[in-house]
Structure 1
Amino acid sequence: MDSSFAEAVGQPPAAPAPLRSEPARRAVLLGGAGVLLGAAGCAGGGSAGPTAAAPTGSSSTAAPSTASPAAGSPSAAATGGAPAGLPAVTPWVPGPGEVDPDVKLRAVQLVEALGNWPAGGQGVAAAGARAAALGLNPGLAAQAGPLLPAADRAVLQVVYAQYGGLLADSASVMVVCRQWTAGADGTVAEGGTTVDVRLGRAQPRWTVTELHPADPGAPSATLSAAARAVLTDTRILLPPAALADVTSGAVHDSVLRAMLTLAQAYTFQVTVLRSGHPLDVFGTDRPSDHPQGRGVDVWQIDGHTVADPATDHALVDGFMRAAAAAGSYNVGGPRQLSGGVTADQFFSDDTHHDHVHAGFTD
């Protein structure tokens, strides 16, 4: 996420583990992106069914969270149980080192409540009741979009919640999730999305004010060589919305080539590329790199969460410097680094405590 003032300087005008579609599905994407993108990259899409691997929680490994369900969550599916025929999911909980963890948890609990339901729980009205059970505006269900596909039952696994912006009285939390749905006939489909959840300070807890789900572009019939290489690189782990961004052809090759360069030395999990990110640098009217297809955020490197204080600083700092060497003009992360080509090439703030941001020019 590029919320720092430094990022605007020099900017051109305006659940299964690992978190990615399986290599076989990516291979099919390369052969016919127009046919399969809805199944592999869009929320509520229609792949043949869930994978056997366990969903990912907030820890720095691929294992699901084993923490107790968060208090107040009305969704049975988000507490480890699952409707028949759907994979078991676990509630996401903030890991070590998170800044203002309850802000993230508030956003996540709403997404989990909206995206999980048993038979009879489908539809906007039922989703609104689940939001109300959390003490939130039931009208938010009308903004849930791809979290509420037409399905008899659904389970949703939050993979990570990353800040899109954190100010004194407002915040953006980008909630990355995967979702499985079942029709009345038992047919299971796999999808997922990223939701930009907006919050405002309130008592006793922050409140959710808006939802902005990802809206990836349509799949492209022709992809660049860099896009095709990213789709087949097993060291680049893409969530559904980011996968859809790549297959749409809307991510600039400068970003894709840098990701491929980084993958020569690291395995990393992407949070967001283009869709599901605030349009502007949070709290400003300056366009963000991400909606222009010129940014990438990474929340996990070589299996270690960026926010976790136990993660070796040298690992994250080395990744940041490698991103700069790969062409990023603006690299943000949990620590302020020195030695950039320009005075503001590196930056740090609370928003970037949980990820590495790399922005690129055309």
Structure 2
Amino acid sequence: MKLAATRFVEALGTWGPGQSGPDAARARIRGLGQDPALVAAAGTVVSGADASVLQVIDAQYGGILATAASVLVVTRTWSRSATGAITADGATYDVRLVQGSPTWRVTEIHPSDPGPAVAPSSLAREVLTSDRIDLPPASRADVASGQVHDSVLEALLALAGTYRIGVSVVRSGHPTYVFGTSRLSDHPRGRAFDTWRIDGHPVVAGSTPQSLVTSYMRDVATAGSYNIGGPYALSGSGFFTDDTHHDHVHAGFAS
């Protein structure tokens, strides 16, 4: 399902000269055996730029059910105008899929929408300038929008004192509701962040020491999180594990 989601997003955001615009994007999506009508919901990644390259930073689960899933595809892009000017950008896409044959079928795509930047608070400025907190474009824009709670920013800075943190998702680009439920997620309210890499080690990699991930999860709790999900079951209040969280560490905050 991750492969189907990432191929879909890569096809939206990567093209050469003469292949820009929605018609060409629909042809690329059709070539994957996916629904070309979904291009209309893809947002600004489909543009009239002369050429574009999209890089997938990470693909993590937003939710898994028996025959349906949400995959969060975290990206950055570089587009080139007809004059040769390069513009760097990026977004996170909540890609919804249902089980199909021979591949999972994309049914929806929801691009991140962080909102405009505002004058940053001192906490936001510290997070944005930290060389120990790696924020993808959408998450960086979330922090710059002023819509991320101080509890999240304070926790990121506290954890960065011990770890180099690879953030995947903060606020936008995440399902509004916990996938498969009617329960509001903490992410779109600016009260959560997900970590896909710790000290250069992907959480999902078999070579990543379990002790590194579990220590990080416990330190997330110490930093104030009431709801910590990850790939391992830990004793104590607030910890949980499930299939969705085997590839990242979730940190949710009450306020």
TM-score by length of 2: 0.99
- Paired residue for 1:357? 250
User: Runs of 4+ in structure 1 displaced over 3 angstroms?
Assistant: none
Q: Which runs of 5+ in 2 are unaligned?
A: none
1:122 aligns with 2:20: yes
Quote how far apart the aligned CAs of 1:228 are.
1.1
SS of 1:118's partner is: coil
1:272 aligns with 2:169: yes
- Paired residue for 1:319? 216
For 1:150 and 1:166, locate their aligned partners in 2 and report how far apart those are by CA, in whole Å: 35
Quote how far apart the aligned CAs of 1:290 are.
0.2
- Paired residue for 2:68? 170
Quote how far apart the aligned CAs of 1:239 are.
0.1
SS of 1:131's partner is: helix
1:131 aligns with 2:24: no
For 1:119 and 1:215, locate their aligned partners in 2 and report how far apart those are by CA, in whole Å: 28
Instruction: Pick from 31, 50, 55 the counterpart of residue 152 of structure 1.
Output: 50
The answer (yes or no) to whether the contact 1:128–1:138 under 8 Å persists in 2 is: yes
For 1:115 and 1:123, locate their aligned partners in 2 and report how far apart those are by CA, in whole Å: 10
TM-score by length of 1: 0.70
Q: Which amino acid aligns with 1:310?
A: S
For 1:182 and 1:232, locate their aligned partners in 2 and report how far apart those are by CA, in whole Å: 27
For 1:213 and 1:176, locate their aligned partners in 2 and report how far apart those are by CA, in whole Å: 10
How much identity, in percent, do the aligned residues show? Answer: 57
Residues 66-93 of structure 1: per-residue CA shift (max 9 Å, x gap): xxxxxxxxxxxxxxxxxxxxxxxxxxxx
SS of 2:188's partner is: helix
The answer (yes or no) to whether the contact 1:146–1:193 under 8 Å persists in 2 is: no
1:310 aligns with 2:207: yes
For 1:157 and 1:284, locate their aligned partners in 2 and report how far apart those are by CA, in whole Å: 31
SS of 2:94's partner is: strand
Residues 197-256 of structure 1: per-residue CA shift (max 9 Å, x gap): 0000111211000000000111112x2221111011110000000000000000000000
For 1:257 and 1:139, locate their aligned partners in 2 and report how far apart those are by CA, in whole Å: 42
1:256 aligns with 2:153: yes
SS of 1:180's partner is: strand
SS of 1:111's partner is: helix
For 1:247 and 1:150, locate their aligned partners in 2 and report how far apart those are by CA, in whole Å: 27
- Paired residue for 1:190? 88
SS of 1:159's partner is: strand
Q: Which amino acid aligns with 2:243?
A: D
Question: Of Structure 1 and Structure 2, which has the larger fraction of its residues in strand?
Answer: 2
- Paired residue for 2:115? 217
Instruction: Pick from 212, 227, 239 the counterpart of residue 136 of structure 2.
Output: 239
The answer (yes or no) to whether the contact 1:196–1:212 under 8 Å persists in 2 is: yes
Residues 263-294 of structure 1: per-residue CA shift (max 9 Å, x gap): 00000110000000000000001100000000
Quote how far apart the aligned CAs of 1:339 are.
2.3
Residues 148-170 of structure 1: per-residue CA shift (max 9 Å, x gap): 13311101111110110011111
The answer (yes or no) to whether the contact 2:38–2:109 under 8 Å persists in 1 is: yes
For 2:207 and 2:189, locate their aligned partners in 1 and report how far apart those are by CA, in whole Å: 34
For 1:156 and 1:283, locate their aligned partners in 2 and report how far apart those are by CA, in whole Å: 29
The answer (yes or no) to whether the contact 1:274–1:290 under 8 Å persists in 2 is: yes
For 1:192 and 1:201, locate their aligned partners in 2 and report how far apart those are by CA, in whole Å: 28
SS of 1:266's partner is: coil
For 1:130 and 1:311, locate their aligned partners in 2 and report how far apart those are by CA, in whole Å: 36
Q: Which amino acid aligns with 1:298?
A: T
Instruction: Pick from 74, 82, 97 the counterpart of residue 199 of structure 1.
Output: 97
Quote how far apart the aligned CAs of 1:146 are.
2.2
For 1:196 and 1:271, locate their aligned partners in 2 and report how far apart those are by CA, in whole Å: 12
SS of 2:205's partner is: coil
Q: Which amino acid aligns with 1:315?
A: L
Mapping for residues 71-90 of structure 1, pairs under 5 Å: none
Q: Which runs of 5+ in 1 are unaligned?
A: 1-102
- Paired residue for 2:41? 143
1:106 aligns with 2:4: yes
SS of 1:298's partner is: strand
The number of aligned residues is: 255
